């Protein structure tokens, strides 16, 4: 059975709250486990590279990794909830500095 996309959300952020958009995509496998994900804060006014992705987490290209202002680093994957927490922490920190 092919992976099935269960979440495809885009939340537009007002200029007052930081501008840009939050993107959240999640696919599950036949057993209901997260097979693929893409979490991103996109704001071309802050970062023009990487299609405007300021910070993001995904597991494309065969490994779990973080994008941060164009720099890609591997991250340890324990579970998807942990990845979401890491993304939320990064996004919250960026929001408080803008």
Average pLDDT, the chain: 93
State phi, psi for 73 to the nearest 5 degrees: -130, 145
- Per-residue pLDDT at 98: 56
Please name the residue that has the structure tokens 């099935």.
4
What is the pLDDT confidence band of residue 31, given thresholds at 50, 70 and 90? very high
pLDDT of res. 96: 65
11-20, 37-46, 67-76: range with lowest mean pLDDT: 11-20
Q: How far is CA 72 from CA 6, 28, 82, 94, 96, in A?
A: 26, 24, 18, 17, 22
* pLDDT average, residue stretch 49-74: 95
Q: pLDDT category, 15, cuts 50, 70, 90?
A: confident
**Structure confidence by residue, pLDDT tens digits, 65-86:** 999 999 999 999 999 999 999 9
Annotate 7-76 with DSSP letters as a single string. EEEEEEPPGGGT-SEEEEEEEE-TTS-EEEEEEEEE-TTT--SGGGEEEEEE-GGGS-EEEETTEEEE--
Residue 87: burial class (beta carbons within 10 Å; 0-12, 13-18, 19+) = buried
């Amino acid at each position: 059975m092919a992976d099935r996309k269960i979440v495809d959300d885009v939340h537009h952020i007002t200029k007052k709250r930081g501008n840009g958009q939050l993107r959240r995509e999640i696919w599950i496998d036949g057993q209901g486990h997260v097979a693929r994900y893409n979490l991103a804060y996109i704001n071309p006014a802050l970062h023009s590279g990487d299609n405007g992705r300021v910070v993001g987490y995904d597991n494309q290209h065969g490994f779990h990794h973080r994008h941060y202002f164009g720099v890609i680093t591997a991250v340890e994957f324990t579970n998807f909830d942990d990845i979401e927490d890491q993304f939320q922490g990064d996004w919250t920190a960026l929001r408080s500095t803008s």
